[in-house]
Chain A
Amino acid sequence: MENLTITGTAKTPTIEFDYQTGNLNLKGRSIPENSLEFFQPILNWIEDYTQRPQVTTIVEVKLEYFNTSSSKHLLDMFKKLERLSNNGRQVTIHWHYDQEDEDMFEVGQDYQIIVKVPFKLIPSASIA
């Protein structure tokens, strides 16, 4: 299947989903007014991916900001990957956060509890 690449904007993140390597990267800001419109193709791609996944999938989330409507879609995405993990595939989510950003750390913890997939919180010097 094809890779999914979406260039980031002031309100939407950069998406680099590489099918061959199973590396799924999300980076930047996710604050669109109509978040479903943005996330639908992403969710569709993940759905297809779960039909023919790689042995190992690593999701790198490096978000500087995201709004509450995006938070629902992120969860949808993680839940789809959770099903993959339940089927014996190895899925890891890396949640990167700015070490000074307590809120982003806390939200990461919230997802960590809700999503039953290895979920690592990774502090970094700055996320831009």
Chain B
Amino acid sequence: MNKGIDIYKYYSEMEDNNILLAYKGEITSKVLTSLLDIVEHKLDKLSEGIKVKKTMFNVLVECLQNLYHHSTEFSVLDIPNSSYSHVIVMIKRDIDEYTIMTGNYILSTNVNTLKTKIDKVNSLDKEELRMYGSKVLAHDGFSDKGGAGLGLIDMARKTGQKLGYEFLPINDKFAFFNLNLKVTNKS
């Protein structure tokens, strides 16, 4: 046997932190569908209200599709170590809120652009965000990857909260991007 990792330690830690879902690896179209399916079933089982279920589902779709498109970009870049295209997704359930946490590698050269987009979204209040969203929808050139940041705007609108984020420098070429989204569950 390998020098074992303590699986029970991981299990307990996730249990103590009320982790509803944890996934690490590649995001393919199939994986994406399965994750959505799992979360939808879990939310049904927890008898969450329609508002929470809809918000969670919508926000998760945008998060996972962002990850999916970034992974695809990476596979095209011909990066030798394929694990750079892998991601982590976790959902934590607390008494009055859910937290969706995602992590993925991004090129260091893209950090500033992404940071600017998120800061812009976070600087707007509810009504401004709505107007900005409409403007981007109506006027910006189309990108199938939602490059205009429509996904980020939508996440902020649907959750009604600021987007939490962090960029960890990894090496010359890569940073690790962590996005944290809160979905309130107060009736």
Q: Is B108 an interface residue (CB 8 A)?
A: no
Name the one of B29, B50, B150 contacting A101, with C-beta atoms under 8 angstroms.
Answer: B50
Q: Is B51 an interface residue (CB 8 A)?
A: yes
Spot the interface stretch: A19-27, A45-53, A64-72, A83-91. Answer: A64-72
Q: Is B144 an interface residue (CB 8 A)?
A: yes
* A102–B150 alpha-carbon span in the complex (Å): 19
A75 near B138 with CB under 8 A, answer yes
Among A33, A65, A68, A76, max chain B CB count under 10 A is at: A68
Identity of the chain A residue whose Cβ is nearest the Cβ of B50 in the assembled complex: A100
Q: Is A98 an interface residue (CB 8 A)?
A: yes
Distance of B128 from chain A, by nearest CB (Å): 14
Interface of B is mostly: helix
Name the one of A31, A35, A103, A114 contacting B137, with C-beta atoms under 8 angstroms.
Answer: A114
Could you say which residues of chain A place their CB within 8 Å of the CB of B154?
Answer: 68
B65 near A10 with CB under 8 A, answer no
A36 near B144 with CB under 8 A, answer yes
Distance of A73 from chain B, by nearest CB (Å): 8
Tell me how many residues of B have a C-beta within 8 Å of chain A. 31
Spot the interface stretch: B13-21, B53-61, B90-98, B175-183. Answer: B53-61
Contact with A along B145-165 (1 / 0, CB 8 A): 110001101100110000000
A100 near B51 with CB under 8 A, answer yes
B62 near A67 with CB under 8 A, answer yes
Q: Is B130 an interface residue (CB 8 A)?
A: yes
* A36–B143 alpha-carbon span in the complex (Å): 9
The residues of A with any CB-CB pair to B shorter than 8 Å are: 10-11, 31, 33-36, 65, 67-69, 71-72, 75-76, 98, 100-103, 106, 110, 113-114
Give the 3 A-B CB pairs with smallest separation, nearest first: A68-B150, A36-B144, A114-B138
Cross-chain pairs A/B with CB under 8 angstroms, 16 sampled: A11-B33, A33-B65, A65-B58, A67-B58, A67-B61, A67-B62, A68-B153, A68-B154, A69-B145, A71-B150, A103-B157, A110-B133, A110-B134, A110-B137, A114-B137, A114-B138
